[in-house]
C-alpha cells in the first residue's frame, strides 16, 4: 500500500520559491514535450526532434577513439587510487590545471597565455558564473547583460538588460551600455559589472575586437567588473574569428586587468556536459583566493580531473580534435542555414557555436510575444520539433528562435528540415 504524504504546510526560502530557476519557461516546456515523445530514427520516427539542446555530438567519435586507444585508467594502481579517493584541496590537481591552461591557449591560437595558478575549478560554467556573481555582487546589486542571453541564476543579483536589436545584428553599442547603466542607477541598483558571452549564446556569433575594446573601456571608466563567458571559444568555425578578452588585455600589458574574469568549460567545445567541468580564470588575486575558498560547493572529482589532464596533455589529440571539430561544425552550420534558406527562412550570419539564430518574424500575424509563443507551440506540437523562442532568451524582438544542429545525426537534421519545409508549404505558401 502506497504511503500518502500530506502537502507540506511548512514554508521554504524565497530562493526555493522564486521563478528564477526557469522551469516554467518555454525553454523547459519544450524539453518536457521531447522527453514525453523523443524522436528515434527506428523506434519512434514521428517523435519530437530535440533542437533546443546546445550539445556538441559532431566530434564525439574522436573522444571515443581516444579512450579506446588509452583504455588503461591513469594511475590505476594502489597509490593512484588512494590519491584520487582521499581528500583533495580546493585548488584541484595541478596536472589538470596545467592541461586546462594549455588547452585554452591552443583554442586561442596561442594569442593569449593562461597561468595555471589563476585557474579555479568548478562544476561547470553555470556554477562558475554563479560563484563569480556571489563574489562580485551583493543581493540587490546589478549586473548588465546584453540581450539576447541565456537564462539567469539564483544569487539575488538583479540582471539589467543591455538592449541589442537586429538593426545592427545585435551588436553591443556604447549607447546601449550607457542606457543600461543609467537604468540600473535610476532604480537605485549598484552596478557591479557586465557579463558577456563570447561567442554569443543564442546568436552563434563572436563579438568583434572593436566591440570588446569599447566594453573594456566602459568597465574601466565606470570602475566595475567584466565577466567574459567564453564557453564556446573553441567552437568558432575559424580560429581567427574569435577574439578573447585575454588577447585585449595582453595587448594593453594587462593594465586594469584586475577587473576581468573569464569563464570556460569543456561542456561545449569538447562535448562533455556530463563531466561537469568548468573554470574561472581571474586576473584579480582576491577573486582567485575567494573563489577557491567557495569552490568547495562546486568541486569535481579527482578521477575526472586526472582523466582529462591526460587527454588534454596529448598534443596530437588536441590539435586534431580542435581542427576537426571546427570543420565539422562549419559543415553542419552550412547544412542548417542552406536548408532553411531553401524553404524561405533566413538566419543571422553566424560564425560560431552549436546553433543558428533563426528569423521567423515574417510568419507572425503581429510582432508580439504572444504571437511568437503561438508559433512556437505550432512548431513544437504540429511539426514536432523543439526549438527555443527568443523570449525565453530575453530577446526584445518577437520572432527570433534558437535552433541547435550539433546534437543529432545528419540524417535527423535532414528529417527536421523536411518537416519544416512541409510546415511552410502547408501554412505559409504564397
* CA dihedral over 391, 395, 401, 402, signed as positive or negative: negative
Of 27, 150, 264, 333, the active-site residue reads 150
Residue 150 designated active-site: yes
Among 229, 264, 321, 322, the one annotated catalytic: 229
Q: Within a 10 A sphere around the Cβ of 417, how many other Cβ atoms?
A: 20
Is 112:264 a contact under the CB 8 Å cutoff? no
**HEC secondary structure over the chain:** CCCCCCCCCCCCCHHHHCCCCCCCCHHHHHHHHHHHCECECCCECCCEEECCCCCCCCCHHHHHHHHHHCCCCCCCCHHHHHHHHCCCCCCCCHHHHHHHHHHHHHHCCCCCCCCHHHEEEECCHHHHHHHHHHHHCCCCCEEEEECCCCCCCCCCCEEEEECCCHHHCCCCCHHHHHHHHHHHHHCCCCEEEEEEECCCCCCCCCCCHHHHHHHHHHHHHHCCEEEEECCCHHHECCCCCCCCHHHHHHHCCCCCHHHEEEEEECCCCCCCHHHCCEEEEECCHHHHHHHHHHHHHCCCCHHHHHHHHHHHCCHHHHHHHHHHHHHHHHHHHHHHHHHHHHCCCEECCCCECCEEEEECHHHCCCCCHHHHHHHHHHHHHHHCEECEEHHHHCCCCCCEEEEECCCCCHHHHHHHHHHHHHHHHHHHCC
Query: Which residue among 172, 194, 231, 248 is the active-site one?
Result: 231
Could you tell me the three cell numbers for 7? 502537502
Q: Which residues pair with 264 in a beta bridge?
A: 279
Is residue 231 annotated as part of the catalytic site, yes or no?
yes
Quickly tell me which residue has 540524417 as its cell: 411
Active-site choice (34, 49, 98, 268): 268
Q: How far apart are CA 315 and CA 23, in angstroms?
A: 41
Please name every residue paired with 396 in a beta bridge, in sequence order, or none if there are none.
none
Contact 326, 206 (CB under 8 A): no
The sign of the dihedral angle between the CA atoms of 30, 53, 385, 35 is negative
Would you call 229 a catalytic residue per the annotation?
yes
Known catalytic membership, residue 32: no
Instruction: Point out the residues that are catalytic.
Output: 150, 229, 231, 268
Amino acid at each position: 500500500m502506497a504511503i500518502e504524504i500530506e502537502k507540506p504546510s511548512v514554508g521554504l526560502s524565497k530562493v526555493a520559491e522564486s521563478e528564477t530557476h526557469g522551469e516554467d519557461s518555454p525553454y523547459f516546456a519544450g524539453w518536457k514535450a521531447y522527453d514525453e515523445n523523443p524522436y528515434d530514427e527506428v523506434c519512434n520516427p514521428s517523435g519530437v526532434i530535440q533542437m533546443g539542446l546546445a550539445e556538441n555530438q559532431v566530434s564525439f567519435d574522436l573522444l571515443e577513439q581516444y579512450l579506446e586507444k588509452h583504455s588503461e585508467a591513469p594511475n590505476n594502481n594502489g597509490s593512484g587510487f588512494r590519491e584520487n579517493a582521499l581528500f583533495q584541496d580546493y585548488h584541484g590537481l595541478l596536472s589538470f590545471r596545467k592541461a586546462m591552461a594549455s588547452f585554452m591557449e591552443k583554442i586561442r591560437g596561442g594569442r593569449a597565455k593562461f597561468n595555471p595558478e589563476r585557474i579555479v575549478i568548478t562544476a561547470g560554467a553555470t556554477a562558475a558564473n554563479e560563484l563569480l556573481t556571489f563574489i562580485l555582487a551583493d543581493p540587490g546589486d546589478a549586473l548588465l547583460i546584453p540581450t539576447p542571453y541565456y537564462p539567469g541564476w539564483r544569487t539575488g543579483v538583479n540582471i539589467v538588460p543591455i538592449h541589442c536589436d537586429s538593426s545592427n545584428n545585435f551588436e553591443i553599442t556604447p549607447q546601449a551600455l550607457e542606457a543600461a547603466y543609467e537604468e540600473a542607477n535610476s532604480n537605485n541598483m549598484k552596478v557591479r559589472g557586465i557579463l558577456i558571452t563570447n561567442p554569443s549564446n543564442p546568436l552563434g556569433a563572436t563579438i568583434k575586437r572593436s566591440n570588446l575594446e569599447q566594453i573594456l573601456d566602459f568597465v574601466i571608466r565606470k570602475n566595475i567588473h567584466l565577466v567574459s563567458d567564453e564557453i564556446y571559444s573553441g567552437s568558432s568555425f575559424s580560429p581567427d574569428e574569435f577574439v578573447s578578452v585575454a588577447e585585449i588585455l595582453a595587448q594593453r600589458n594587462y593594465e586594469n586587468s584586475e577587473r576581468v574574469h573569464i569563464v570556460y568549460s569543456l561542456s561545449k567545445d569538447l562535448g562533455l556536459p556530463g563531466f561537469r567541468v568548468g573554470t574561472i580564470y581571474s586576473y584579480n588575486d582576491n577573486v582567485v583566493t575567494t573563489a577557491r575558498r567557495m569552490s568547495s560547493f562546486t568541486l569535481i572529482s579527482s578521477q575526472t580531473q586526472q582523466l582529462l589532464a591526460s587527454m588534454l596533455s596529448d598534443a596530437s589529440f588536441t590539435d586534431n580534435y580542435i581542427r576537426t571539430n571546427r570543420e565539422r561544425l562549419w559543415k553542419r552550420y552550412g547544412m542548417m542555414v542552406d536548408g532553411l534558406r531553401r524553404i524561405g527562412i533566413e538566419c543571422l550570419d553566424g560564425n560560431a557555436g552549436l546553433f543558428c539564430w533563426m528569423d521567423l518574424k515574417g510568419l507572425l500575424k503581429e510582432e508580439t510575444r504572444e504571437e511568437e509563443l503561438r508559433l512556437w507551440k505550432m512548431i513544437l506540437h504540429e511539426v514536432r520539433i523543439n526549438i527555443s523562442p527568443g523570449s525565453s532568451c530575453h530577446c526584445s524582438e518577437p520572432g527570433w528562435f534558437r535552433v541547435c544542429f550539433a546534437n543529432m545525426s545528419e540524417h535527423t537534421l535532414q528529417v527536421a528540415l523536411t518537416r519544416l519545409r512541409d510546415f511552410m508549404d502547408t501554412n505559409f505558401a504564397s
